[in-house]
A = this chain, B = another copy of it.
Amino acid sequence: MIARSGLAHTSVVGPGDDAAVLSLAGGLLVAGTDLLVDGHHFRRDWAGPTDIGHRAAAANLADIAAMGAVPTGLLVGLAMPGGLPIAWVDDLYEGLREECQPFGAAVIGGDVVESQTLVIAVTALGDMKGARPVTRDGARPGHRVAIAGRLGYAAAGLAVLGRGFRSPGSVVAAYRRPEVPYLAGPQAAVLGASAMCDVSDGLLRDAGTLADASAARIVLDVTAFAVPDVLRDVGRAMNVDPLTWIFTGGDDHALLACFPPDVDLPAPWRVVGRVEEGAGVVVAGIPDEGRELAGSGFAHWG
């Protein structure tokens, strides 16, 4: 739902979606803020400062992409203990900058203050480039559900790190530096996506939010989710079903979108389900097919 008012500069998408959209004279700007707190959102013993910079930027830039915008800039606020080495801070900014570079965005401002707790506040800005913002509430029965980007890798990496291991490197690296399909966001907007969000809380939960916002049911076809060998191997070693990571892991920041049936979907988008009348999220193609999940987690359909 896009609310418009008579003022040229009112927000046209306010709190509650991935990011805020501002209407300007000649275009739509997208802005969103995320805070990352030491020990809660990152651990300095699990990732170095450059990786933490990458993750902090990625989490926020993914929100911009999930509106269909091209990320253009970051503002970075850093509240830091007095004893934090300058080299650590330099490396953090290096990671933030590097994450922006592939699509020409930049760190354009910020603030540094002293605080007992290390907090990184990232605000990302993006440009709709003439496209219409893609909110969460436009999925309609008959639309297809598609994913761009990886699922489960970062969650597997986090599980590995949590048990004190450092390998396999590919999943640990996925946790430390997510590979976000940023440009699939604006691509989806141009293609005419009806609803979109990034997967930051896990696919089931985020699909549930999107289903709720759209007052529709999202049916995911489990056979559309190929389990990569590396996730299968890690799962076996850790006695975890790798589908758990795929359906409930969030840190990869994949994009989840719905498209009207007449839209031809190019890569990296791959169809994983459909929108139906109803509510909640249903996972089809497993023995217990059709059981309602209510978007609340993998355990319900195990």
Residue with the greatest number of chain B CB neighbours at <10 A, chosen from A9, A31, A73, A111: A9
Within 8 A of B (CB), among A103-153: 104-117, 119, 121, 123, 125, 127, 130
Identity of the chain B residue whose Cβ is nearest the Cβ of A33 in the assembled complex:
B75
Known contacts A31-B109, A40-B114, A76-B33, A70 near B123 by CB under 8 Å: no
Produce 1/0 per residue, A275-293, CB < 8 A to B.
Answer: 0000000000000000000
Interface size of A in residues (CB-CB distance below 8 Å): 51
Least CB distance from A8 to B in Å reads 8
Known contacts A24-B127, A26-B25, A119-B115, A75 near B31 by CB under 8 Å: yes
| Complex-state Cα separation, A27 to B22, whole angstroms | 12
Produce 1/0 per residue, A19-34, CB < 8 A to B.
Answer: 1101011110101111
Known contacts A20-B73, A40-B114, A40-B115, A31 near B121 by CB under 8 Å: no
- What's the dominant secondary structure at chain A's contact region? strand
B115 A37 Cβ-Cβ under 8 A = yes
Q: Kindly list 13 other residue pairs between chains A and B, CB separation below 8 angstroms, not including A10-B106, A20-B73.
A: A11-B106, A14-B108, A20-B108, A22-B108, A25-B27, A25-B127, A25-B130, A27-B27, A29-B29, A33-B75, A37-B113, A79-B121, A119-B121
| 3 interchain residue pairs of minimum CB distance | A26-B26, A121-B121, A20-B109
